[in-house]
Chains A and B, each alone.
Chain A
Amino acid sequence: MSLADRAIAGEVRAAARLMRIADDRTGDYIQEMVKIWAHTGHARIIGITGAPGSGKSTLTDALITHYRSLGKSVGVAAVDPSSPFSGGAILGDRIRMATHANDEGVFIRSVATRGHLGGLSVSAMDIAAIFDAMGKDIIIIETVGVGQDEVDISSLADTCIVVVMPGAGDDIQAIKAGILEVADIFVVNKADRDGADRTARDLKTMLELGAKRVWMPPVVKTIALKKSGIEELAEGIALHSNYSDNEDKHFARLYHAALGLLKDRLVNSCFTPDRFRELLKTQGDPYSVTIKWLKNHGLEA
């Protein structure tokens, strides 16, 4: 049996290995992923994003506990940044989810960005697809700690949660492009800290200033560490599913995975960095070198 068949049958080791070859783009990943993608479209995919230290992993942990209490199986892809210098990474999101390590209904995978911007890895949707094909009911994708403009997840998750902390900037920060449009649900985490009510109020005010939307993102206060506010958050997630166009989101995931593969294959098929650098050094301007390079490889510039 192929890795994909074994993963679809629920075998953890095969699924984990398949995630590896999809991430590395080695082995028979193409044939395997063709099978996997044919089995997707059933899980509910929740994205969690927010600034570093806002409590994304702890909130993920609390949501896992909640969904497990309802008997749902959960897959988690937790993304952390790769070092731009060494290419290595320390992936530490699991530390906050340690209580689920021996629960067979929970599969947590740490993923490094490997240079991809937008808060995810190129492989993130492939990994979610493998969870989906395994039959996981709920998939949580936790992005790297993001700032103001790294928000792939908003178009890819069925429901996107943005986590903020009390006192994290004034109301102008909130209306800058990015954060307000990204969230289907806002979470003000660490709500036992000073300024939580103020932050929640500011967010609500800013949301109301914007154009009327069919779905008005709720602002939920949580203390993830104490599992407080999680029921309300889960209610918000359930309610949002009536408003979210899940087919549209599923298509966005196909597109993300396809584009990632296309870029990789194109670059690998025609690009040799050393030779390109050499040309650029001797011929100077980036435009003519690139256009000539493309033409030499039979690609219309």
Chain B
Amino acid sequence: MGKVRILIAKPGLDGHDRGAKVVARSLRDAGFEVIYTGLRQTPEAIVNTAIQEDVDAIGISILSGAHNTVFPAITGLLKEKGASDIVVFGGGVIPDEDIPFLLESGVAIIFTPGTSTEDVIKFVNEKITAKIH
């Protein structure tokens, strides 16, 4: 039986990766393999990494306000490379009014501040674990 693999990435210029680390840690504790890229990744680097690592999902943590550029860039590149089966989800400080646009551009879900790690795990289990097993 396969293991779920998830890329946790931090695009852009903000240097706050505590949230990303908390999510990475809780996904590991839920039994998933988490690849962590570190800070300041470009959408191109994130997508290349996701493909090399053959992940099921990419979790993007973003606090810089660049979400309306970064998310569509990532989903666009995935599509271009024939990898739009990779699920993209996001978290961070993202205003509610921006969420519909992000969902429309191919992001599966946005977790806003205050989300519990259980919600993230539940999402992964429903959306991905169920699919690969």
Contacts from A to B (Cβ < 8 Å): 12-13, 16-17, 19-21, 23-24, 26, 82-83, 85-92, 94-95, 98, 101-102, 107-110, 112, 114
User: Assuming the A-B contacts A86-B28, A86-B29, A101-B49, are A110 and B35 also in contact, with contact meaning beta carbons closer than 8 angstroms in the complex?
Assistant: yes
Say how far A9's CB is from chain B's closest CB, in angstroms: 15
Place the interface of chain B in its size category.
Answer: 20 to 34
Complex Cα distance, B85 from A131, in Å, reads: 24
Which of these, A17, A20, A85, A90, contacts B25 with CB under 8 Å?
A90
Binding site for A on B (CB under 8 A): 1-3, 5, 24-25, 27-38, 41-42, 44-45, 48-49, 51-54, 81-83
A94 and B3 contacting across the interface, CB-CB below 8 Å: no
The answer on a CB contact under 8 Å between B36 and A95 is yes
Which chain B positions have C-beta within 8 A of A109? 52-53
Task: Report how far A98 CA is from B11 CA in the complex, Å.
Answer: 12
Q: Judging by beta carbons under 8 Å apart, are B28 and A90 in contact?
A: yes
A90 touches which of B3, B34, B52, B53 (Cβ 8 Å) = B34
Given contacts A16-B51, A101-B41, A109-B53, contact A92 B36 (CB under 8 A): yes
Cα A140 to Cα B35 in complex, Å, equals 18
A83 to B27, CA, bound (A): 12
Shortest Cβ distance from A21 into chain B, in angstroms? 8
B38 touches A98 (CB 8 A): yes
Contact A89 B51, beta carbon cutoff 8 Å: no
Of chain B, the residue at the smallest CB distance from A106 is B52
The complex places the Cα of A87 from the Cα of B28 at a distance, in Å, of 8
A88 contacts B29, C-beta separation under 8 Å = yes
Q: Is the CB of A88 within 8 A of B36?
A: no
| Residue of B whose beta carbon sits closest to that of A96 | B38
Quote the shortest CB–CB distance from A229 to chain B (angstroms): 24
Is B31 in contact with A98, judged by CB distance below 8 angstroms?
Answer: no
Inter-subunit contact A94/B38 (CB<8 Å): yes
Q: Are A19 and B49 in contact, with the CB atoms below 8 A?
A: no
CB <8 Å contact, A20 and B54: yes
> Is the beta-carbon distance between B28 and A83 smaller than 8 angstroms?
yes
Interface hub of B24, B25, B49 (most chain A Cβ within 10 A): B49
A-B contact pairs, 16 of them (CB 8 A): A13-B51, A17-B54, A23-B3, A86-B31, A87-B31, A88-B29, A88-B30, A88-B34, A89-B33, A92-B38, A94-B37, A95-B36, A101-B37, A101-B45, A102-B48, A110-B53
Asked if B34 and A24 make an inter-chain contact with CB atoms under 8 angstroms apart, the answer reads no
Report the Cα distance A278→B83, complex, angstroms: 45
Min distance, Cβ B93 to any Cβ of chain A, angstroms = 23
CA–CA, A102 to B47, complex, Å?
A: 9
Return B52 CB to nearest CB of chain A, in Å: 6
Which one of B1, B24, B45, B81 contacts A13 once the chains associate, using CB atoms below 8 Å?
Answer: B81
Q: A95-B37, A109-B53 are in contact. List 20 more A-B contacts (CB 8 A).
A: A13-B54, A13-B83, A16-B51, A20-B5, A24-B2, A24-B3, A87-B3, A88-B33, A89-B33, A91-B35, A91-B36, A94-B35, A94-B37, A95-B38, A101-B37, A101-B45, A102-B48, A107-B52, A108-B49, A110-B53
